[in-house]
Structure 1
């Protein structure tokens, strides 16, 4: 990736990626550990009493299992175990996964930075599997370069930096020397607002997963997973992503620009694509995506120059919500491999018609109707028109039909449902869910029952099709 924009004479990018994750846990064993920690806090020397030692069953577990348990709890709790007994004194220094949060990892005698640095210096495991750092104040993040240097010296494989600053981009900088050579880092996640100094030469040979926006691609020949989250207050306008090894790409763009921004993407090994939030872009152009298997394209608006739908033809699974899409749908393209399609129904009957014609091998069709906010008269492509020729997918391949939040009060939706049931010859299962109705709305309940019964009694092309109705509890 070529430098995008200079900032004070250095190649920098404002990072705004925010993700949430959760570590696995072993509930029963962790509860024992918490009990032991409470005893440690309550009584210091009382832990050495015979009756207490006899209850210390957890210490009898094998060391690898103990390390696995300790890896599932906050590092502050892990450090506290050193006071449990002599056998636990140095065990925490071998824990392969560390997480520090400035909100909790403080003491009267040591700052957050001192705690992090001392813990890293004391770490004795051959490889630091993961290091997660959360700094909630700019001053706390001033030593981020020192922390990362210590982590790199311990062969860290996964590095997560979450630096908070509510007012502006954090002044915390990752020294350029840290990108010069690293052969162990496999996953890098940079969250919230960070400025990076990216040198012209980058070497992260083992990197497989990247969540950020930066000029590291040329130095990451094995990169497979890239997540980009572009928000407001960014000074980056053009993104050129060229990664031959990339297999998964996620782009969330919530920056409403002025029509001058855009993406150019070269990813010949791409298998999974997830893009959302594009609004008023100058261009979004994909090149060379022959291996694409699955894609999710939602919430995109007008793009002056784009080829998004055209590059999806090799996909086997598609999720499309183009209710805000103001470009014309391309015609003449065929999705020869597509077997699973999820489609938003809001003002998209023309898109449904196009996809039925363009997906000859479609086996599963799921219609989703979660957004009924617009007035019917304002919707383009809303009216469903009966087709002269039945698409091949309905005649020969469609086996599963699902409709989430079917609006039984809309005549057009009834027409679409009847059309599919009457023409899908190989259909095995049909699931239709509706919004719940309050029990006191008796007339409405009777009307819905009448409409659904009418739909159920319609002639179906497949005599073996099982039709099921249910109330969607999502709206309860």
Structure 2
């Protein structure tokens, strides 16, 4: 303890910043020197864990007493999570005012009350935000019982905004004006008609957009400058938009009209480098419809796309329609890294097709996504070899990684074919799962180790897969 006490105050405060706020506060009983060290902490985390039992007002009294005494010139973050009925909206507003006076950068308020709302009228939130001149990170999560009809967020300093709109909220609309914003997460699950006005986001670089109904024009206009877009929405968004800066697209295909949105985004993203097709967490994968192929091959498929991932490929007719679209004159000239889940019946056909259409592929990652079924009824069927060896195997493929290799006949056929024809293969790493289909590890090793390898420099590595 004497050695620690010998350290300067600045260093002790930095050490305290690595532990939860309530633990940092508890050090105040160690000695007179430690009594007030914690009030210099730049990050404050007040949660309901402070309360010992329902109805305990200890947390409320503690914040009332000590927050006004806080000495840090800048509060980097203030986090308050509680469902205590003893904490009133006016308490929270007072604490926020104090934090703002300390130039708070990150404000996270999560308070549940059955009887009262922090924001008593539509403009209360914006009135609060208007006194936050350096606020950089804001998360707004609205509940179904909100009585606010309009939501306004105008903050010139804001860099990151997360906004959740629930389904049952009777909302007239929301207006967002954040000229410095770099990251936007918009989850608008409201199926009722409402206005969505978003403007002035020239610096936006990443957006996560999950909209239950159709994409409003103002939302599309605000995200055309992004480099990374994750999106789920009904149907398309109209003509006249170009995503010139978009390099990484993750599209949720849980809805029937998702293929239409995919086709439009491919057409409007000429510099796309990474395409990932997936289903967002907590989304239900609906029965899809066929892809209406664009009248011409999208520019990104001809010149820029390098990585294509479809970790949750189900092999349904609508999925095959999307995949088959890439077979109809589409070539992934820039595709360098392919990650494909082979848990479904049609996976082997999709693999063969993508190998054929990716002449410059360098890394092939075959896997089975965690929690995906791999039973014989639903699993990948036998491999139909291409009529000719794909160009990527002859000239560019250097790395093969197969996670959860089961050693079934269809698995062996694919692995042996690649080893036999990949002329420039440097490494083939096989993570053997011997339990799934009761194929002994030694048998797997022998079958592949004794197979023909065209590349004389290829190293075959076996690793036991651990669940």
Structure-1-length-normalised TM-score:
0.70
**Pairing partner for 1:99 from 45, 52, 63:** 45
Greater relative contact order (CA < 8 Å, ≥ 6 in sequence): 1
CA distance in 1, matches of 2:432, 2:255: 28
Alignment of 1:24-423 (within 5 A): 55-105=1-51, 110-137=57-84, 140=87, 142=89, 143-163=91-111, 171-173=117-119, 175-180=125-130, 182-190=132-140, 193=143, 195=146, 202-213=153-164, 218-228=176-186, 243-250=201-208, 265-266=220-221, 267-274=223-230, 282-283=234-235, 287-296=241-250, 300=254, 302-303=256-257, 305-307=260-262, 310=266, 311=269, 312=275, 313=300, 314-324=304-314, 326-327=318-319, 328-329=321-322, 330-331=325-326, 332-347=329-344, 348-370=347-369, 373=373, 382=381, 384-409=383-408, 411-423=409-421
CA contact (8 A) 2:151 2:175 kept: no
- Stretch deviating more after TM superposition (72-81 or 152-161): 72-81
Would the alpha carbon gap of residues 139 and 390 (structure 1) be closer, same or farther in structure 2, given more than 3 Å must change?
A: farther
CA contact (8 A) 2:335 2:361 kept: yes
- Stretch deviating more after TM superposition (192-201 or 221-230): 192-201
Would the alpha carbon gap of residues 109 and 402 (structure 1) be closer, same or farther in structure 2, given more than 3 Å must change?
A: closer
CA distance in 1, matches of 2:343, 2:252: 12
Structure 1 unaligned blocks of 5 or more: 1-54
Q: Deviations over 1:87-113 (max 9, x none)?
A: 333322211010001231569984433
Q: CA RMSD in A?
A: 3.9
2:449 corresponding residue in structure 1 = 456
Q: Tell me the number of residue pairs that the alignment of Structure 1 and Structure 2 aligns.
A: 400
What SS is found at the alignment partner of 1:149? helix
Would the alpha carbon gap of residues 284 and 131 (structure 1) be closer, same or farther in structure 2, given more than 3 Å must change?
A: farther
CA distance in 2, matches of 1:399, 1:333: 23
Would the alpha carbon gap of residues 213 and 192 (structure 1) be closer, same or farther in structure 2, given more than 3 Å must change?
A: closer
CA distance in 2, matches of 1:386, 1:317: 23
CA contact (8 A) 1:394 1:424 kept: yes
CA contact (8 A) 2:214 2:234 kept: yes
Would the alpha carbon gap of residues 407 and 128 (structure 1) be closer, same or farther in structure 2, given more than 3 Å must change?
A: same
Structure 2 unaligned blocks of 5 or more: 166-172, 270-274, 276-299
Would the alpha carbon gap of residues 421 and 307 (structure 1) be closer, same or farther in structure 2, given more than 3 Å must change?
A: same
1:376 Cα offset (Å): 5.6
Q: Deviations over 1:166-188 (max 9, x none)?
A: xx899443633123353311222
- Stretch deviating more after TM superposition (173-182 or 148-157): 173-182
Greater than 6 Å deviation, 4+ residue runs = 106-109, 214-217, 236-242
CA contact (8 A) 1:293 1:316 kept: no
1:341 Cα offset (Å): 2.4
1:333 Cα offset (Å): 4.2
